[in-house]
Amino acid sequence: MAGPTGRGGSLGAALGDLLRSQVTPRHRLSSYNAKHWHAQLSQLTGTHRGYQALEDAGLDVAVKTLINWLSDPEYNVRRSYRDLIHTAYENVAIVRADPIPDHVRRGQYEISGYVTTGTDRRERGTPDAAPLRIDGSQGNWDEIEELWLAGELTDDEFEDHFIDDVIVEDIGEGTDGWEFDGANYSVELR
């Protein structure tokens, strides 16, 4: 039975596609795009989560003060308070990434596409050639997860770290390192 599969124009793009299908990435909620402090405060005070974000940001004012601020967008609010409102708004607007689940870290990977090590270049995962099989449980996922949680895991970074921290940890350096220099990849997680 086939498992989840990621596809892309590079190994990193296929890995990223696969990971995003398994876990929520860090992203910005499209409904949170207000720029002015008053609009941000109005949106924040509309939800319990928003009030919690204001409290977490350190905004500690009386209810009467909040009502005064909300009733007049031109109210003279100190810059430090506007900064706290903005911080709370940004914290609510960003959806934190879920950690990479164990089934992804410990999974068996089947990579199809061109794989090069030294002068040996082969297309893997064809009727004539098995996919490159990698045991993810042998890898070190710490840097990949750190970048993922920060929202900074690009396809290129993912590919580089997957090669260095997962493939090399599982099957070694290869003749002269590993290159995935094709234009079409699929990665199946088993």
| Residue 63 half-sphere exposure toward CB, CA atoms < 13 A | 0
Among all chains, which residue has been given the structure tokens 């090399």?
168
Beta carbons of 29 and 50 less than 8 angstroms apart: no
Predicted confidence at residue 1, as pLDDT, reads 60
Single pTM value for the model? 0.78
Q: What string of pLDDT tens digits covers the 190 residues of the chain?
A: 679 999 999 999 999 999 999 999 998 888 899 999 999 999 999 999 899 999 999 999 999 999 999 999 899 899 999 999 999 999 999 988 999 999 999 999 999 999 999 899 999 999 999 999 999 999 999 999 999 999 999 999 999 999 999 999 999 987 789 999 999 999 999 9
| Residue 88 half-sphere exposure toward CB, CA atoms < 13 A | 29
Beta carbons of 122 and 114 less than 8 angstroms apart: yes
